[in-house]
Amino acid sequence: MIKKSVIVLILSFFLLTMALTVSAKISVQTFCDFSSERCESLEINVNKLQEKFPTEIVIEKHYYAEDINENIVFPMLALECAKRQGGMYAPYENLLLANRGAVSREDLKGYANTLDLKRENFSFCLDVRMPEKEVKTKLEYAEGKGVTTTPTVIVRGEKYERVTTFTNLVRITEYHLGLRETIEQKEIMQEAESEIVETEEEIIDWRTEPVEEIEEEVHPELIEVDLFAEMYGEQPTTFFAKMHWSIKKFFWSISK
């Protein structure tokens, strides 16, 4: 009886420890799209984060588009169409991530061909937006979490927009695991604001660049020229010379 009691106690302790370990895991939710370079950076660093905290966190990947009616939602629709063909969600997702940015309808159908999906079924599913209901549910879930842009990271209900660097992801995770007393929002937000600052600096640089001054063309003043005076000189002052000069000018003006 004693042995059985000891075994039961050990098993109970083991199961309790396992339960506490599982419950101690925190969820790190990422919301991305298939075009943003910042999302690509986030996905790489989130994988590194999982390696750093293998038993402490669980990663939840979500996708987001601002409007169900825009073309940017088509990759999400395509994923659901692939899922309908024998659970090809993950292989199709890998192709999308490997060809980030190439998400036209032709590209999306091309990935389906690469995976040997039923071409006509996939094309019809995508063109008529068959999985729109499923995608809309996912978008509403993201919006319910307060997501308005990509990339966004949510840990224990706290939202961090445009955070992608490994350093900041570690800071956030350590804070929510209780390994860090405080987290400097300034440090976290500095990364999010870096894009805006760079853009402003570019504008400032452009405005402060020395402007090349264009020299104004100087047009000389028009001067009326007395051709007779140039030929015969100025009017003399003596009486006879003055008369002779006047006669010459008279005949010169007639000849003109």
| Residue range 144-195, pLDDT digits in tens | 999 999 999 999 999 999 999 999 999 999 999 999 888 876 667 666 555 4
pLDDT computed for residue 103 by the predictor: 93
Q: Which residues contact 118 (CB under 8 A, 6 or more apart)?
A: 85
Residue 127 CA to its chain's centroid (Å): 27
Q: How far is CA 207 from CA 95, 197, 212, in A?
A: 43, 15, 13
Nearest to 161 by CA among 135, 138, 195: 195
Global pTM?
A: 0.65
In a 10 Å sphere around its CB, with 0-12 CB exposed, 13-18 middle and 19+ buried, how is residue 34 labelled? buried
Stated as kind and residue range, the H or E segment containing 32 is strand 26-32
Read off φ and ψ for residue 26, nearest 5 degrees.
Answer: -110, 150
Helical H runs in 32-165? Answer: 37-52, 74-83, 89-98, 105-114, 119-127, 132-144
Q: Determine contact, residues 127/56, Cβ cutoff 8 Å.
A: no
Residue 253 has a CB neighbour count (10 Å cut-off) of 9
Strands 26-32 and 57-63: parallel
8-51 pLDDT tens trace: 556 655 555 444 444 458 999 999 999 888 999 999 999 999 99
Instruction: Tell me the average pLDDT of the chain.
Output: 79
